[in-house]
């Protein structure tokens, strides 16, 4: 059960070397994460209403091959860990059959406006656990 | 009495053509505007406290020559118009003696959080009028 | 015959005021322009091969209302002018029935790598003229 | 022997949560890296001429506390590893005494335009080794 997000590389995302600038991959991951939750029927305001406001605490990026202007990228999103207050999403950026990059992001749920960590709300937790288990079995 | 803001062109600001992407000039103008007011002793929180929260309603950009990776740019900021609720700032982007681009931005003062137009507070208005008059005389 | 491009507003496009930063509209216009030509079957490499490498010489932006996180925007692209070496595209950014912003961009065709202006290649010119005429009649 | 790079947080770098978007930290690291080498007298064209064109293969970011609009940040740059073809730079982002974030970036030297890994040129290697050793002793 993997979620995918499509993106075409734009001219302003490419740097002087003609390849997508590394910081732009974090825009891609952010957009893919939003659509991942949206796919479950949770928009950002709905996540906030449920008590889920994820703050990024760690990001690991690995680059295998560059993306270039006009490339049609597909980002795969999976959940690889769910703790009490934190969760880890794993993004793989592909162009056709080629793995170009992967991004592993650790989020801690915070109380909006306060910034203190808070347990991940039960309905969101259940959904993420189901994905993480499925992911564990299939890998 | 012209204010200047310096900026070195970064790799992520350059697009696939090897020139600074047009949208990045608006980042440059925004930073220059902030420092322009900061030069009068008004940080953004202080402007808000004074009742000045400028919303952009119009921007005109003109490009004469491209900026490239590593270019040392200087942005000149002047005020060319002050109305009751609106003001116009004019930015010229230069590399050495060369004019590369100009940006003319019209701001309307809004009541923060409400979005309704409001008169520009007197101390800010006086300062902008002085600059606009000086500018008118010198040109 | 208007071309449309859809975009959902992302968290990184929103500034400290909670509204889409003005420079991001130029990313939107650039993406819409690329898809506009792509809709005629011309990718960027194909445009270059045909002898069309558009350089932006002027941009006018007008803002009526702000766009916010999660907004589903639709950008309409039309051609309003075709000269020998230059053309003007007009973009309107809407959220549902609401006009939020418009962008008018003047491009000059340049010889790639050289930067000198060059006539717009005939097949592209014909297509743009047809759109501009249709636009003139319908408005 | 640590190199520092200063940056003031801009409105367009802040996301809907009012904090600097994570992708913007990679712009900060890229600018700091450029100035780090510039501090040794090597501009990007000079690095290329020497045979050094660093490609990013891995980035680890850790966030401790958010940066906000107007924050005056200082980025510290050190070299923590030098191999035959790769090197690791470590960036710490501070606001006053507070550590806000750290970024560890692994670069592989590539032959420009070809993308194959190549040994780091001797003068650059020597400089990086000296910094990495000094760093190892002082920590």
**Across the interface, do A69 and C44 touch by the CB < 8 Å criterion?**
yes
Task: Give the whole-angstrom CA distance, residue D10 versus residue D12.
Answer: 6
**CA torsion A52→A58→A63→A64, rounded to 10°?**
-80
Alpha-carbon A1 to chain mean position = 15
Closest Cβ opposite residue A61 in set D27, D30, D59: D59
* Span D74-122, pLDDT tens digits: 999 999 999 999 999 999 999 999 999 999 999 999 987 667 899 999 9
Contacts with B12 from chain A: Cβ below 8 Å: 15, 21, 23-24
Task: Give the whole-angstrom CA distance, residue A2 versus residue A134.
Answer: 10
**Across the interface, do A27 and C12 touch by the CB < 8 Å criterion?**
yes
* Residue found under tokens 């790598």: C113
Residue A139 pLDDT more than 60?
Answer: no
Structure tokens at D138: 């002082």
Closest Cβ opposite residue B10 in set D31, D43, D69: D31
pTM summary value: 0.95
The answer to whether residues A117 and A109 touch, using CB atoms and an 8 Å cutoff, is yes
**Across the interface, do D27 and A23 touch by the CB < 8 Å criterion?**
yes
Helix, strand, coil distribution of chain B in percent, nearest 5: 30, 40, 30
- A24, closest residue in chain B (CA to CA): B12
**Across the interface, do D44 and B69 touch by the CB < 8 Å criterion?**
yes
Q: What is the pLDDT of residue C17?
A: 86
Residue B91 pLDDT more than 60?
Answer: yes
> Rounded mean pLDDT of B52-60?
96
* Span A30-63, pLDDT tens digits: 999 999 999 999 999 999 999 999 999 999 999 9
CA distances from A133 to A77, A81, A93, A122, A128 (A): 14, 9, 22, 16, 9
Task: Give the whole-angstrom CA distance, residue D66 versus residue D59.
Answer: 19
Least Cα distance to C26 among C83, C88, C105, C86 occurs for C105
**Across the interface, do D69 and B44 touch by the CB < 8 Å criterion?**
yes
**Residue-averaged pLDDT of chain A:** 93
Least Cα distance to D127 among D32, D44, D4, D38 occurs for D38
Q: Phi/psi class of residue A115: alpha, beta or left (left: φ > 0; alpha: ψ in -120 to 50)?
A: left
Q: What is the pLDDT of residue C134?
A: 82
- A13, closest residue in chain B (CA to CA): B15
Closest Cβ opposite residue D10 in set B8, B10, B30: B30
Q: Where are the domains of chain D?
A: 3-138
Structure tokens at B107: 């701001």
To the nearest whole Å, the CA of C46 is away from the closest chain A CA by 12
Q: What is the pLDDT of residue D139?
A: 47
Q: What is the pLDDT of residue D47?
A: 95
A49 contact C CB<8A: no
Least Cα distance to A53 among A130, A121, A131 occurs for A121
Structure tokens at B69: 């990776």
Element (H, E) at C60: strand C54-63
Q: Hey, how many other C-beta atoms are within 10 angstroms of the C-beta on B35?
A: 17
Share above pLDDT 90 across residues of chain C, in percent, rounded to a whole number: 86
Closest Cβ opposite residue A30 in set C10, C31, C45: C10
Mutation for testing the B interface, residue in D6, D21, D24, D31 having most B CBs under 10 Å: D31
- B19, closest residue in chain C (CA to CA): C55
> Rounded mean pLDDT of B12-35?
96
* Span C56-65, pLDDT tens digits: 999 999 999 9
Task: Give the whole-angstrom CA distance, residue D25 versus residue D37.
Answer: 18
Structure tokens at B37: 């007011």
What CATH number matches the domain at B3-138, 3.90.1150.10, 3.20.20.70, 1.10.10.10, 3.10.129.10?
Answer: 3.10.129.10
Task: Give the whole-angstrom CA distance, residue A10 versus residue C33.
Answer: 11
Q: DSSP for D8-33?
A: EPPGGGB-TTSSB-HHHHHHHHHHHH
Contacts with A26 from chain C: Cβ below 8 Å: 12
* Span A55-74, pLDDT tens digits: 999 999 999 999 999 999 99
């Amino acid at each position: 059960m993997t979620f995918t997000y499509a993106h075409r590389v734009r001219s302003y995302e490419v740097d002087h070397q003609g390849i997508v600038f590394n910081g732009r991959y974090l825009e891609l991951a952010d957009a893919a994460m939003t659509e991942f939750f949206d796919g479950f029927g949770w928009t950002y305001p709905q996540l906030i209403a449920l008590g889920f406001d994820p703050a990024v605490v760690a990001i690991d990026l690995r680059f295998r091959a560059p993306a270039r202007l006009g490339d049609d990228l597909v980002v795969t999103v999976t959940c690889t860990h769910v703790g009490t207050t934190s969760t880890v999403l794993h993004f793989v950026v592909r162009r056709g059959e080629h793995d170009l990059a992967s991004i592993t992001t650790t989020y801690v749920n915070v109380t909006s406006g306060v910034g203190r960590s808070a347990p991940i709300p039960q309905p969101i937790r259940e959904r993420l656990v189901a994905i993480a288990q499925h992911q564990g079995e299939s890998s």
